[in-house]
Amino acid sequence: MASTDALQLLRASIAASKPPVLTTSSDPTTAETTKTDSFVDATSLFFSYPTPLCLPLDQKTRFISTNPDTVPVDLRSIFFAWLQKDVAVPEYIALAAELDKQLPEGQKVRNLIFVERLDLITWLEGASEDSEYIKPIEGAAAVGDAANRAADVAGGSAVPTVGGAGVGVTQMVGGRPVKTIDARLQAIYNGERRLGDHNTALRGIKPTDFSHVRKHAETFLGRRKGMPPNVRPGQPSKTSQLAARPAAGLSKPIAGAVSSKRSDPIILLSPSASSLLRMSNIKAFLDTGLYVPPDHPTLSTQTTANLLHITRTLHSLSEKPYRFILVDSPDQFKPDYWSRVVAVFTTGQIWQFRGYKWREPQELFGHVLGIFVGEKGLPIPSEVKGWGSSVKSYSVERWDEKGHGAGVDQAQRASKRWRDRETVEEVWRAIESHMKGRGEWRR
């Protein structure tokens, strides 16, 4: 089993909705009867898909952690991080520390930092096809050679003929017997042209990772990520000049270069306690079109999350759904994350922007869309009105506990709060229009 790649196996199991389970046995035939929920007792991870298989928890993976030193992360730490994907960072750290107290030396859980954990979960769930922390699979050249040999057999060039139409076993390929082919059929096969994919035509059979060269070039040339290679720092590209459009008297810098890898757009929420939309109720509001107060008892199980995902199809941009990341703080942001921020929910309180890249509201909303959601019947704050047309204002009906509360079922509540759906659709239309005006989100 040395050649089995644990990361690919875990990703495939998650995609098939058949995640692995912890077990105290290394034998797949007895793993079902020795399942456990304890990382302390478990010694292996049992995969039921695509074929029964047990992998030791201390097996090293291709995921490389850089905190505090560069080492491969073991399967135990990878699976633990995925199980805790929905908990907040402080809680994840506390759970890892508590588990380490019970594990013997040499089996401690590797505590992944926020960026590493986010990158790992995004890759495992299939939202991205590559990761800067995952090494390419070794032995790709051997796999390519095997594929070529199989193609030779299929094309007939590796299969000798015997007399006329004789059939018999002549050689072993890949450990399996290969039968001879009729001479006339062999001649047809020999005249066929073997086709390859873009990897073999453009890059050969051995994939080479040149990402380190790009990183060194950015260090010396000072280029921003996403800038075309023929554009010098400080010189706008022709595409960005054509894409730039003035709006409401503000000059918006719009990146015109379209990246080949589509990143997930980010929406920032206000951490203010007076905000009608917080991490506890924003998913229900944007996903189902139903407003529930953020401190409502029915939302008590969702208040600890500090990162959420929402999938939405924006037809004017792409038929492929976008996965939006929702956070209420930019504390864990990398510098390039700010280019992915498409909207900021605000209550009109300027202290919200202290840790932002653009701290002045006029400058901030010259780059991203501002969204204010208030209660119907209450005035819009003067600060929000003074920030210009880049901040859109919306309102929701006042919450009535008797008519909308815990005693009302979901269907009745949705029928009484049908205006929430109208408001949510207006918010999404504004976000889609703003993204459409930015070059990097176009089709």
Gap between the Cα atoms of 313 and 24, Å rounded: 43
Residue 254: inside a domain: no
- Stated as kind and residue range, the H or E segment containing 74 is strand 71-74
161 and 37 within one domain: no
282 and 194 within one domain: no
Residue 248: inside a domain: no
Residue 1: inside a domain: no
pLDDT in tens, 210-220: 777 877 777 77
Whole-number CA gyration radius for the chain: 28
306 and 229 within one domain: no
56 and 20 within one domain: yes
Reported as half-sphere exposure (CB side, CA atoms, 13 A), residue 134 has a value of 21
175 and 71 within one domain: no
333 and 234 within one domain: no
Q: Which of 69, 97, 124 is the last residue of a domain?
A: 124
Residue 261: inside a domain: no
277 and 147 within one domain: no
Residue 309: inside a domain: yes
195 and 117 within one domain: no
Q: What is the DSSP string of 361-397?
A: HHHHTTTSEEEEEEETTSPPPHHHHTT-TTEEEEEEP
Q: Which of 96, 124, 152 is the last residue of a domain?
A: 124
Residue 407: inside a domain: yes
Residue 250: inside a domain: no
401 and 271 within one domain: yes
Mean pLDDT of the chain: 76
69 and 92 within one domain: yes
Amino acid identity of residue 368, one-letter, is V
Domain containing 53: what range?
6-124
Residue 255: inside a domain: no
414 and 300 within one domain: yes
Q: Could you give the number of structural domains in the chain?
A: 4
42 and 173 within one domain: no
pLDDT in tens, the chain (443 residues): 444 789 999 999 999 999 999 999 989 888 888 999 999 999 999 998 888 999 999 999 999 988 777 889 999 999 999 999 888 888 888 998 999 899 988 888 988 888 888 889 989 988 888 888 898 876 544 444 444 444 444 444 444 444 444 444 445 544 555 555 667 777 777 777 666 666 556 555 556 677 778 777 777 776 554 455 454 444 554 444 444 444 333 333 333 333 446 688 999 998 888 888 888 888 888 988 888 888 787 775 545 567 888 989 888 888 888 899 999 888 888 888 898 899 999 988 888 888 899 888 888 888 899 999 988 888 888 888 888 888 999 988 887 766 555 555 555 555 667 788 888 999 999 998 888 887 777 65
